[in-house]
Structure 1
């Protein structure tokens, strides 16, 4: 993985655990960012396993309370399948937690730290502008109601496009790949659609000016 890809992933995963002050961010070391990432992923693993256990219990209760009616059995089967999918997602998060330190070790660590902090600082300093662009592109959604990981992926992508000079096509592709890795089944399609609309609005503004 290239240093900037590693930095981007680090920024997305660490964002919710990092200070928002640019002055405090500037003092952060790579180890602190990695710790923030591990805390984020650990929290998601725990939440995923708790949701899976709850879904499995609902399915079990549905089976025990039913009189083997086809509709009840089908509903219980759907709940168990959902529990299996949630468990698999949690297991994948564990795999990511293990593999990310290796990616950092193999990359140019100074470059990773520098670009990750540049992304996080830009998101912090330009938060109102970034969020305004995203809100206008969401169409019937509100940014603060999105899943945290989706929101952070979108913010990082817009920061890179609008303020860090990354080509739109590359930024969108990178965001979609991160969503495939960390979001739910439909997350990458949703993120692709939102960023395409952000891109369309940027082009419309540039044509007017």
Structure 2
């Protein structure tokens, strides 16, 4: 595996800390570097912990529903098929949680680079501030690209990935193709099985709408 570039580390740090930071992230500008890194990393740990717990809770719920369906059925094919589908969903949720936990292995590298590389710290901070300052505009762009869905109903991690990518394209001058590719890679690491396809589709529609605007 090739080492990740500083901006990739910064995106990941921003993604994982975005939902955990203060409502007014401009306060980050006044923090010494060591405190800034601590806040970003602590936010990242809290987000990852929450995501894993939610995913495992979903898996447990699917397992329970599958078990209840099997126990209450009279071995009808429809009931067994339904129970099998629930079991498969539980397995998928558990696999997602395992994948999310696996990313924790990279935390020492993330912390080290955030401490050593000012570019990582600055870009992570810039991403967080840009998203929060322009959240209304960003969410409108995302919403217009969603099909029969609402921004508020998105999984938090998917919403944050989309917000960072749109912020890069709209406000930070990152080429659309790079922002989309980086968002897809983040989704592969942190979202569900089909998350990266969903993220890719939404962002492609955002860029198409930009061209016709």
Output the TM-score relative to the length of structure 1. 0.90
CA RMSD of aligned residues (A): 1.7
Classify the secondary structure of the residue corresponding to 1:128.
helix
* Counterpart residue number, 1:63: 70
- Dislocated runs of 4+, deviation >6 Å: none
1:142 equivalenced with 2:145 (yes/no): no
Alignment partner of 1:97 out of 104, 112, 121:
104
Q: Does the 8 Å CA contact 1:18/1:25 hold for their aligned counterparts?
A: no
Note the residue ranges of structure 2 that are not aligned, 5 or more in a row: none
| Deviation of 1:188 (Å) | 1.6
| Deviation of 1:18 (Å) | 0.8
1:3 equivalenced with 2:6 (yes/no): yes
Q: Which runs of structure 2 are paired with 1:180-195 in the superposition (5 Å)? A: 180-195=188-203
* Counterpart residue number, 1:130: 138
* Counterpart residue number, 1:54: 61
| Deviation of 1:201 (Å) | 2.1
1:25 equivalenced with 2:34 (yes/no): no
Q: Does the 8 Å CA contact 1:175/1:191 hold for their aligned counterparts?
A: yes
Output the TM-score relative to the length of structure 2. 0.89
* Counterpart residue number, 2:85: 78
Note the residue ranges of structure 1 that are not aligned, 5 or more in a row: none
Q: Does the 8 Å CA contact 1:130/1:159 hold for their aligned counterparts?
A: yes
1:176 equivalenced with 2:184 (yes/no): yes
Classify the secondary structure of the residue corresponding to 1:185.
coil
| Deviation of 1:203 (Å) | 2.0
Classify the secondary structure of the residue corresponding to 1:118.
helix
- How many aligned residue pairs are there? 205
| Deviation of 1:103 (Å) | 3.4
1:197 equivalenced with 2:182 (yes/no): no
* Separation of aligned partners in 1, 2:38 and 2:117: 10
Classify the secondary structure of the residue corresponding to 1:35.
helix
| Deviation of 1:109 (Å) | 3.2
Q: Does the 8 Å CA contact 2:20/2:47 hold for their aligned counterparts?
A: yes
